[in-house]
Chain A
Amino acid sequence: MEKLISEFSFGLFFWQLFLFVGLVLLLWKFAWKPILEAVNSREDGIKDALASAENAKKEMQNLQADNEKLLKEARAEREAMLKEAREIKEKMIADAKEEAQAQAGKMIAQAEESIRSEKQAALAELKNQVATISVEIAEKVVHGELEDKKKQLSLVDKMLNDVTLN
């Protein structure tokens, strides 16, 4: 202890105190404060960046979920549309078939009608012609037959028989 006290140098103490306090003040102003502030602001910056990255990630996830939802909806819609279209198509085909059948039926009916009327007309004409020809033939026959009395009579008889048969 005595050694320590005798060793104690007031001048060195004074200079150490003076220089060290000066150093603390100077360094605080020119070094520590700006360094600590810079480091703090950098750390805050990193923290902010991390937080915003996290936010972006969350937003991204939300977006993705939205997208998925939209996609699902779109798919469902497409499905529905396709189904409808198919139905329409089938209906159209069915309609067309029906109409075609109806049309065909109608045409067939018309054709049959016209065929029948044509036949009727043809038959009527045939009958007329046959009648005319028969009359002519009869005229000719009668004309021939009437030359012979007996023949005339027999003819009349025959004709009469025919007529009744008819």
Chain B
Amino acid sequence: MRRKFSIKKITLLLFLVSFVAVSQHHGDEAGHKEATTQGTSEDAQKKSIKDYINHHLLDSYDFGLYSYTNDEGEKVHVGFPLPVILWDDGLKVFSSSKFHHGEEVAKVGDNYYKMYHNKIYKTDAEGTLNFEEGDHEHPTNVKPLDFSITKNVVFIFLVSLLMFIVFSRMAKSYKKNPMPKGAGRFLEPIILFIRDDIAIPNIGKKHYKKYMGFLLTVFFFIWIINLLGLTPLGVNVTNNIAVTFALALITYLITTFTANKNYWGHIFWMPGVPWPMKIILAPIELLGTIIKPFSLMIRLYANITAGHIVLMSIIGLMFLFKNWLGSSLSFGLAFALALLELLVAALQAYIFTMLSALYFGSAVEEHHDH
């Protein structure tokens, strides 16, 4: 009973935080507007919106809820710092507040680190960054191995925790009662859908069970994290290529390590074609095994990134239009797009799961004559 109560409290808290974040986001945008009307041109406003979108799409070392420019013209960040973990001749753990949002050099032991374009570089005490001729994006300074708990890592952890709590409670409720209860009523049809419409038709009744853990987890993980990316908290996890790469890598590894003789036979010695073709097909098929998970990675990344860029650009347009018609039109468009993004969030999770199941199915397919 107590536990139930505490979970409700957490949910309530999350809701409150997201609402606070909504209002603050609003304030943030207003801040931008104010800053630009203080005697700067429209170009500056466009640039600030572009910067804001870029910033939103990137991971960050602190959990920034919002930032604004106050009346004195200083940039104020509201949020809390997260631990930075570096491996640079030994483990270095320090708070990201040492960077002061990239404005200062962090001194840890005898080493100095500077944040530049959201990456940490090793520098000297002054924080000098060396660039190659004509390049201002990629400093040549040493990059230490970075295992920092960034905003996205925090969110991955929170979503994992949420999923674990919800689904293990659901599992427990089955022990008392064969019918699902509470959230289970909503989640059980989805689980059954993944089993009956994704796993069994693509993998087959004989082998599907061993893949269910991955398929169910990946579906709910991508779905929930996509949906949370649409909340005003705006933490986009799946628009990081590293995250989708990790997911696709797991699919690739599972496919490769559970594949049977028939699968490898189809790759290296395609049956039913003349032998010169077999030699030509082998490298193509081998490349195909890598392209398949690669396309999974790119698809998820690109869909979420593109969706967010378009949605935020249209929200940004609201502030660029200085008349009531344009702003309200772009508001309507943004609303419609947000609804579309809700669909995309689920669709991408479905497609990722579906295609993973398809690849697993081809890996365990029994031999049959063509």
Contact = CB atoms under 8 A, between A and B. Distances in A.
Chains A and B directly touch (beta carbon < 8 Å): yes
Interface of A: 4, 6-17, 19-28, 30-36, 38-39, 41-42, 45
Given A10-B145, A15-B156, A19-B160, A30 B171 contact: yes
B7 interface: no
Given A12-B243, A39-B192, A27 B175 contact: no
B213 A30 contact: no
B221 interface: yes
A17 B170 CA distance: 25
A11 B156 contact: no
A38 B172 CA distance: 10
B312 interface: no
B246 interface: yes
Interface stretch (B103-111, B122-130, B161-169, B324-332): B161-169
B265 to A, nearest CB: 29
A13 B153 CA distance: 9
Contact of B153 (A15, A21, A36): A15
B138 A21 contact: no
Interface string B151-192: 011001100100110011011101100110000000010011
A46 to B, nearest CB: 9
A41 B177 CA distance: 12
Interface of B: 59, 85, 119, 137-138, 145-150, 152-153, 156-157, 160, 163-164, 167-168, 170-172, 174-175, 178-179, 188, 191-192, 195, 209, 212-214, 216-218, 221, 240-243, 245-247, 249-250, 301
Contact of A11 (B146, B163, B171, B241): B146
A42 B212 CA distance: 18
Contacts of B147: 11, 14-15
A5 to B, nearest CB: 8
Contacts of B174: 34-35, 38-39
B191 A13 contact: no
A19 B157 contact: yes
Contacts of B241: 4, 7-8
Nearest to A13: B242
A119 to B, nearest CB: 110
Contacts of A22: 160
B207 to A, nearest CB: 15
Residue from B149, B152, B171 having most chain A Cβ neighbours under 10 A: B171
A32 B216 contact: yes
Nearest to A22: B160
Contacts of B179: 42
B188 A31 contact: no
Contact of B59 (A4, A9, A32): A9
A8 B58 CA distance: 11
A28 B171 contact: no
A31 B146 contact: no
Contact of B195 (A7, A10, A23, A36): A36
Contacts of B119: 9
A13 B148 contact: no
A28 B210 CA distance: 10
Contact of B178 (A8, A23, A31, A42): A42
Contacts of A26: 164
A12 B195 CA distance: 30
Contacts of B145: 10-11
Residue from A9, A25, A33 having most chain B Cβ neighbours under 10 A: A9
A27 B213 contact: yes
A35 B152 contact: no
Nearest to B138: A6
B81 to A, nearest CB: 16
Residue from B59, B149, B175, B242 having most chain A Cβ neighbours under 10 A: B242
A10 B119 CA distance: 11
Contact of A31 (B138, B168, B192, B218): B168
